[in-house]
A and B are shown apart, each in its own frame.
With several copies, the nearest count.
Chain A
């Protein structure tokens, strides 16, 4: 099968769905510019022009409401934000209106708005450009929240979102855009609420989402060399959440590590732990471990930022601890100097 990058997969899904469905429009600050939201909207703009790929003023709140108005009058808007952190400004329209619309107006129809938010890890983005607010949205019934890790899922979940009748938030970590993977040519949807076993294993379950799936895989490879068998579960979607795939895995392994790019408290890692505590209280042989950023805002300073971002190393350490094997990680962190060759985007 063909190989695409994550951003190419999103771009392809967008163009294919827009071709199939003339109701789809794209709204966002700079969707039409030379950067094209990390290359994800460039092709759509080239193909469909300013009529359907619409640069908007810096008005996140109104744009979220505009998308709702358009969606409830026959269009299927996709709103794109270069940083998911800007979603707080759109949160009223998204949580108080889009998520509740179908229910609150008596099930006459839903709000098919897709909102893509980019998580800004990388190059010292700092406290207000590094957040992954997926749990914040996933707390609210009526929303769908997905955070694909693989290029195939980036395509498939976007296709699903653009065909669904419910408001959907897609959180994309920038670190994923250059990653390659096999992606089918057809615009096939990946259903919401179905996780996948990325790597089977017996000793420990690592539940992850988005970028952390790769960190989990790399941790699993490392641990495999030490004879430790890690099962990596990518839930793909936070709401609906595939409780069953989590529970089936933990029932087998008896050990759970949850890895997330957002904070532990009241976050994705909390929910996964709760699902297990709710369904399999006896199954856990060891404490659940949450591998997440420390409980502080994201710092800019390079070594602090590296330390702040949870990675394979922290997952390895958590797994070894659960197995009573001490605290050996993957190895010392790389040299404390940023590498040369960076050319943006920032």
Chain B
């Protein structure tokens, strides 16, 4: 990588970011399978990296990002702290959620990765609420929220679109449509001849579709979407058509257990978003293949180190099992509280 320019070209940087997430997730998947030290259900985005990378590149650092269960890639794309994520997967105190949340409950306030959640659709409404806060307080921040095609079947999706459009809230809804909900194909869950984009548009949300394996297209659509939302143009919905190579949860492949055909998975591997971006760039930047190789090595080392450190890190202490259930409140049974209560009781 010695020949990588100091000021990295933004297009090249999208490739770098995808390679990094790919290497991190592939390495995590291998360790997950072989060592079983990450005792948390884990949903890999391998093959889907272009959407979070492109969209987060379009956002400003101050913009906040939410995600669903397929959380690692949005977290990393938004700049979430890697060692903290890996420690979280290992259930360690150094985890970004102190080992309490696991893979599906990543958060990094410093990076404005505002949280991922396991229950489908929740973060669609939560991001809408974040946008309401920006709107009410006059901040020019935008909220982005990632979710799958399956989550759009939850009623909260329609409810949130309506609310966001009604108040023209600065929120970008990003649907990573990978054609499946666990093993159920889209056609088994949504009527033929309809589209999620059309549904979003019918709710008054500016809605766009994009090739989910074309990181440059996504970044461009994302920029337009974020700019529109920031400028007070109201919410934007982006449907990014992509595909998940691995099984729904866990490190296996999408064709394991006969869930899907090998041919189908292979046809999408052939459309790998990283490979496509590299091919696009190769004409203008012939060193790109070398860089990718360099990044692969670099990020493999980075994730290996994070895993080593996470394994060595301490577990949370048993004495802290219940900590964080409630915020620090004055002990209600202190003298003061009692005195106060007595005063009130006396008043009546």
Contacts and interface: CB of A to CB of B under 8 A. Distances in A.
B203 to A, nearest CB: 11
B132 interface: yes
Interface stretch (A13-21, A28-36, A250-258): A28-36
Contacts of A136: none
Contacts of A242: 332-333
A329 interface: no
B18 to A, nearest CB: 26
Contacts of B345: 196-198
A52 interface: yes
Interface string B83-127: 000000001110111111110110101000011011111111111
A64 B183 contact: no
Given A30-B184, A70-B130, A126-B104, A110 B122 contact: no
A166 B328 CA distance: 9
Contacts of B91: 124, 300-305
Contacts of B35: 340
B37 interface: yes
A300 B104 CA distance: 10
A126 B332 contact: no
Nearest to A156: B344
Interface stretch (B2-10, B21-29, B295-303, B316-324): B316-324
A104 B323 contact: no
A159 to B, nearest CB: 11
Interface in A319-344: 336-342, 344
Given A57-B189, A150-B348, A164-B329, 12 more contacts: A34-B257, A52-B136, A57-B159, A69-B125, A69-B129, A70-B132, A103-B324, A128-B119, A142-B326, A166-B329, A304-B99, A308-B321
Nearest to B34: A340
Pairs of residues from A and B, 8 with the lowest C-beta to C-beta distance, nearest first:
A69-B129, A65-B125, A107-B324, A301-B91, A62-B159, A300-B102, A301-B99, A165-B327
Contacts of B40: 123-124, 126, 300
Interface string A85-105: 110010011001100001111
23 contacts: A34-B257, A62-B155, A65-B128, A65-B129, A66-B126, A66-B132, A66-B163, A70-B133, A73-B134, A104-B97, A107-B324, A124-B102, A126-B100, A128-B119, A191-B332, A194-B338, A196-B342, A242-B333, A297-B325, A299-B316, A300-B40, A340-B36, A341-B36
